[in-house]
Structure 1
């Protein structure tokens, strides 16, 4: 359906087209016919003027030659029988012996009753020769003819005639009226014929339109359009009937399909309800299993964190045993030497040399005890800070380089037997406020991954740790090594849980998953990996910090 009604109809287009063509055709034909008829009347009038002027010229030539004006006047008087002759003047040459002298002189004239003699026409005689001219008012026609001697051919004079054009005008007006009447009558006939013809075309179209509207409104696709005597409309009606037939078949097929669907739906409703119930139960069990899996995964991640802390405790405990053992040995030796001095003092056998030796040994042993106890105190302090950071989620201000060095110091028990080199590049005055615990765990996991996986079968490797501010509130940690890199099949899912190359060899596959969670959830940052197999790895970690400054 169109948005707006059409401004034209077949009836109007047909009538306007036919009437326009007929009107233009009749106008052209009438104008042409009228022009030819008026031209014919004009030719007749000119011929009449030519014949009459020639007759008067022949009649008057002998009188002009003999110079008898009484006879020519009588001859001109016969023109009264011709009512359309208004004036007739005969002119002669003043000196007819001179051939080159063309000066006319009035010789005789005839004037119709009520008509005055026309004077001053001598100058127009030559221009009116064989060129009849109708006056500006259209009331008369003027013409002139030369008069010659019949025997000698000498030019004797001129004849001037003025003829009335009343009959010519009357015939012209009658012709115009006749043509106009004929055009009007033909236009009426053409309009009537076109009106009847358009009814013969528009009425079947209206009937067909009404039929389609009724069919569309009532959706009665079983009805059929009637034929027409016009071939095109009959073809259109047949095409509409074919379309209705196909639509009827389609509607019947659709009704049958809907009936089958209703029956199928009624039979499947119970089955759907049963399967929906079973699906709900299965979904409930699946959700419970998924929750248990998440709990198990969180427990494993927590165990992994505690396991890394346990490994650190064992390493630090082993490392602290050495300085404490040396301190105990030195203190035992001091007690033994003190007992010997005490005995010599009590027996009054103490010598100066023995006392000096005791003082030297005491100084040496106390230095040993001080150095080893100081070493143990540094290890315990570093371990305590790392342990506190790992077990808490609170933010604190710290020097970034000092934090990294403390982490490396806590890992020293596991790294001292290896020849790997760790380089830290960071401004020693850089201080930030953020959560130190996640950073501890992230660096410990990355370093241990490099040692276990990246430097496997390598005697010495290099680890670079770089820290810098990328803006006033963002810190970037770049961790890289020159190990064997990560295979492509592992690299694209490196942060997924339980992804490891040491399956069955003690690897849980949760290290990098824990790193990803710590970066994105604990630090609210992002981590990206760049690695090519055989060309090491590079992790770029960016996370927000506060109170960043250089002190």
Structure 2
């Protein structure tokens, strides 16, 4: 049977891994057996030392060298002892027995209770035991004895177990090899060979007899391959049948095509005769078309002149559109400046009142100082005059101080709002404080009314933005509510709710004015759209607000309203206005 490479490679890899693991496990067992046997020998040396230490100690104590040597020779006869070194209390060697330790180049070092032996091919190792003699109840060390064993003794003891271990490993390996080889041959190699032989017998002319049959009792991957291959043969048989049917149809179609060709030739002859007649008619029509072409050329020239006139008119319209856009921009700036002018006028009116009171109090104080000075020069100054002057002076100074402080507060609150509206610089603001400053700057227009403005804003809500845009937005919204929303309403209410959304700020502006229709709401943000044009309205307030929110602050704004239910704005703007967005 032909050997298949896949089964051979698989068998080789499995056996290689098993043999490698067997070698490693066997090596571990050999080393373990070696050290276990060495431990047993060490225990034997300790046992022998305990057995003979008494007699050796007495012999050395009595200076009976011959007896100590005899005892040492008896110990040397033990199978686990390779050599013995007997020393007195001064470390002088009394006896050194054993062929392994009589070599001149042997280097023996004593270290506590163990003996280090260097430069020995036998793998010697040993232990030193002190010889203690009790004299008058007091222990005295009279010397020591060193028992030495070797690696050869360990190997001699484990030789038979090692042989059995190696035999077991080889036997198991060969048995496993035979079992795996037979299994691979039965389950893989032979079925693959049969599959290969049957596939090689494939005949395109005898598809039904080219199917394979592996005759396996169990269902496995080869059975799946067999079913897939036989399914492919079945599909090929169906395709051949369909191909045969198509071939027959093609023959019939060719026959019909020949008949159609004959009929077509006859039809072509007939059409050719008709075509000749048509060509004559076409010649006449050609002459008529040439006449029509001349007329059409004249019409094209007329159209070109009209197009040139249209282009000239288009350029004029573009110039007019540019002028219109420029005028629109100027109107927007004019609206901003008009709002700023109204703010300044209100500031001047509110500041004039405390300053006028301060001037009056200052003039009165000046007259009192002159009167006091006159009494002093005429030497008619009395304590009553001085007391009256001090009372009047204190009252005047307190009046001047309070009114000047009021004027200073008004100027301070109005100054930043006015500067912001005239500037487009980005700066940091605290929104809650800034909105109240804006409302305070509108007091000159609001104090003549009974309208109420409620602001709900978190404390310490910081923004970095063009503050003038914020001022202009709230100014336009509030004034639109006052002028348009609260028309014929004495006590209107404006609710401003500001929420912190993390990176964005949401502003809900709601008034309870008269509201607008859906038609007006659809045009609310269109430029120049106003319901008060006959009363001087410009129609730019909401348009400016829309542009400030969408373009300057890069936010969103929407409005909703119903007649009689006021107007509601929803504005969302980022906390930090990017420079490129503002630009």
For residue 267 of structure 1, the aligned residue among 282, 295, 298 is: 298
Partner of 2:80: none
Q: Deviations over 1:225-273 (max 9, x none)?
A: xxxxxxxxxxxxxxxx9xx99x999999998998788456422221221
Structure 2 CA distance for partners of 1:341 and 1:495, relative to 1, 3 Å? same
Structure 2 CA distance for partners of 1:495 and 1:10, relative to 1, 3 Å? same
Cα deviation, residue 203, structure 1: 3.5
Partner of 1:536: 566
Cα deviation, residue 348, structure 1: 1.8
- Determine if contact 1:481/1:537 at 8 Å carries over to the other structure: yes
User: How high is the TM-score relative to the length of structure 1?
Assistant: 0.56
Q: Deviations over 1:331-369 (max 9, x none)?
A: 011101111111112222111122112112111111111
Partner of 2:548: 518
Cα deviation, residue 290, structure 1: 0.4
Cα deviation, residue 478, structure 1: 1.6
- Determine if contact 1:476/1:541 at 8 Å carries over to the other structure: yes
Q: Deviations over 1:295-330 (max 9, x none)?
A: 111111111110111111111101111000000001
- Determine if contact 1:465/1:479 at 8 Å carries over to the other structure: yes
Q: Distance in 2 between matches of 1:275 and 1:221?
A: 51
Q: Deviations over 1:169-227 (max 9, x none)?
A: xxxxxxxxxxxxxxxxxxxxxxxxxxxxx6xx654312345678xx7xxxx99537xxx
Q: Distance in 1 between matches of 2:374 and 2:444?
A: 43
**Greater RCO, CA 8 A, separation 6+:** 1
For residue 458 of structure 1, the aligned residue among 485, 489, 511 is: 489
RMSD between aligned residues: 3.3
Q: 1:12 aligned to 2:12?
A: no
Q: Distance in 1 between matches of 2:252 and 2:450?
A: 103
For residue 404 of structure 2, the aligned residue among 368, 373, 379 is: 373
- Determine if contact 2:553/2:577 at 8 Å carries over to the other structure: no
> SS at 2:272's partner residue?
coil
1:14-53 map, 5 Å: none
- Determine if contact 1:221/1:248 at 8 Å carries over to the other structure: no
Q: Distance in 2 between matches of 1:354 and 1:276?
A: 99
Cα deviation, residue 401, structure 1: 1.0
Q: Distance in 2 between matches of 1:221 and 1:283?
A: 60
Q: Deviations over 1:345-395 (max 9, x none)?
A: 222211112211211211111111111111111111222101110111111
Q: 1:395 aligned to 2:444?
A: no
Partner of 2:348: 317
> SS at 2:326's partner residue?
helix
> SS at 1:533's partner residue?
coil
- Determine if contact 1:316/1:410 at 8 Å carries over to the other structure: yes
- Determine if contact 1:11/1:202 at 8 Å carries over to the other structure: no
Partner of 1:493: 523
Q: Distance in 1 between matches of 2:317 and 2:377?
A: 85
What residue ranges of structure 2 are gaps of 5+ in the alignment? 1-244, 579-583
Total equivalences in the alignment: 333
Q: 1:223 aligned to 2:272?
A: yes
Q: Distance in 2 between matches of 1:517 and 1:253?
A: 69
Q: 1:279 aligned to 2:310?
A: yes
User: How high is the TM-score relative to the length of structure 2?
Assistant: 0.53
For the pair shown, which has the larger CA radius of gyration, 1 or 2? 1
Structure 2 CA distance for partners of 1:453 and 1:13, relative to 1, 3 Å? same
Runs of 4+ in 1 over 6 A off after TM superposition: 247-261
Q: 1:326 aligned to 2:565?
A: no
Cα deviation, residue 476, structure 1: 1.6
Partner of 1:149: none
